[in-house]
């Protein structure tokens, strides 16, 4: 007779593998070598790139404002607390998405960590699934921001191709002004405005006026959707679309 209880199946990490993420680097700061080893093994089994450190100082000596990824940070460290390290990283402009782990956490410390920008605050003991879910969500945020940053950099480089006159005309174009109205405003011929417009579209690699609007407002506080609505409702939009 088998007196053993029901067997618990081994943890299946395959659900946390995500080939779509470009950045899969996880930094660990943990005093306990055994804990670091366990965490590293778990994360490496899910195809993360892991860099582990035994102190806050060793991490600070490695990262800079270009470092991207997720940081798993023990709340209790020697010489510098996890909260102090979080503050120092923020002061240095290091944008790691931080997940705190703690065996002696309090509501006050948890709130303080989250107010400081932490993604999560996990109390020990925690399950592998709980930790990996938090890491995956943090990395999704990292990669979303990285994609936005790369797009912004690309648009900035394209924008540098424009002459001062082309930039001036572009600002009016994204507001919905027609070529005729622009010509009257700037004292130019409609033909000259159309030539400038064609150059702007080519240099920015925009396929249409709505595409141009999205590019211009990517790094702006304005909402491109609102501008697009105004443009599409403008009587000049259909005319420009036919002639553009």
What domains can you pick out in the chain, each with its CATH number?
16-149 (3.40.50.2300), 161-243 (1.10.10.10)
**pLDDT at position 234:** 41
pLDDT, tens digit (0-9, with 9 covering 90-100), for 29-49: 998 899 999 999 999 999 899
Q: CA angle 145-212-233, nearest 5°?
A: 115
The CA-atom distances, in angstroms, between 201 and each of 22, 91, 152, 187, 196 are: 30, 40, 17, 21, 9
pLDDT, tens digit (0-9, with 9 covering 90-100), for 224-233: 444 443 434 4
**pLDDT at position 238:** 38
pLDDT above 90 (res 183):
no
| Helix (H), strand (E) at residue 196 | helix 190-204
Q: Number of H helices and number of E strands within the chain?
A: 11, 5
- The residues with which 72 forms a beta bridge, in sequence order, are 28, 99
User: What six digits make up the tokens of 241?
Assistant: 């679309």
Structure-token match 């304005």, residue found: 222
pLDDT category at 176 given cuts 50, 70, 90 is confident
pLDDT above 50 (res 21):
no
Low-confidence winner among 32-36, 61-65, 91-95, 109-113 (lowest mean pLDDT): 109-113
Query: What is the spatial distance between Cα 187 and Cα 41, in angstroms, rounded to a whole number?
Result: 68
Choose among 152, 239, 158: nearest CA to 204.
Answer: 158
pLDDT above 70 (res 10):
no
**pLDDT at position 80:** 87
What does the mean pLDDT of the chain come to? 80
Contact predicate 177/186, CB 8 Å: no
Longest Cα–Cα distance of the chain, Å, equals: 97
Choose among 43, 124, 129, 9: nearest CA to 76.
Answer: 124
**pLDDT at position 220:** 52
The predicted model gives 206-233 an average pLDDT of 61
pLDDT above 90 (res 62):
yes
Identify the three-state secondary structure at position 57. Answer: helix
**pLDDT at position 8:** 38
Q: What is the pTM of this model?
A: 0.66
Q: Report strand pairing: 97-102 vs 70-74.
A: parallel
pLDDT above 50 (res 141):
yes
């Amino acid at each position: 007779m088998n007196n053993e209880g029901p067997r618990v199946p081994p943890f299946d990490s395959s659900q946390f593998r995500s080939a779509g993420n470009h950045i899969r680097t996880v930094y660990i700061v943990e005093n306990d070598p055994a804990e670091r080893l366990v965490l590293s093994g778990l994360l490496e089994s899910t195809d993360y790139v892991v860099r582990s450190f035994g102190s806050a100082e060793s991490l600070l000596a490695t990262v800079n404002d270009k470092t991207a990824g997720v940081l798993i940070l023990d709340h209790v460290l020697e010489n510098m607390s996890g909260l102090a390290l979080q503050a120092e990283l923020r002061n240095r402009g290091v944008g790691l998405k931080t997940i705190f782990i703690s065996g002696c956490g309090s509501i006050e410390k948890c709130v303080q960590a989250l107010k400081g920008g932490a993604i999560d605050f996990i109390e020990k003991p925690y399950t592998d699934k709980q930790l990996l879910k938090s890491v995956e969500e943090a990395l999704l945020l990292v990669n979303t921001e990285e994609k936005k940053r790369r797009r912004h950099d690309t648009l900035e480089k394209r924008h540098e191709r424009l002459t001062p006159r082309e930039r001036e005309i572009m600002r009016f174009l994204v507001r919905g002004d027609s070529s005729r109205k622009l010509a009257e405003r700037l004292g130019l011929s409609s033909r000259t405005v159309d030539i400038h417009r064609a150059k702007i579209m080519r240099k920015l690699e925009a396929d249409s006026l709505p595409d141009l609007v999205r590019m211009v407002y990517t790094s702006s506080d304005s909402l491109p959707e609102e501008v697009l609505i105004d443009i599409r409702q403008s009587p000049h939009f259909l005319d420009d679309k036919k002639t553009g």
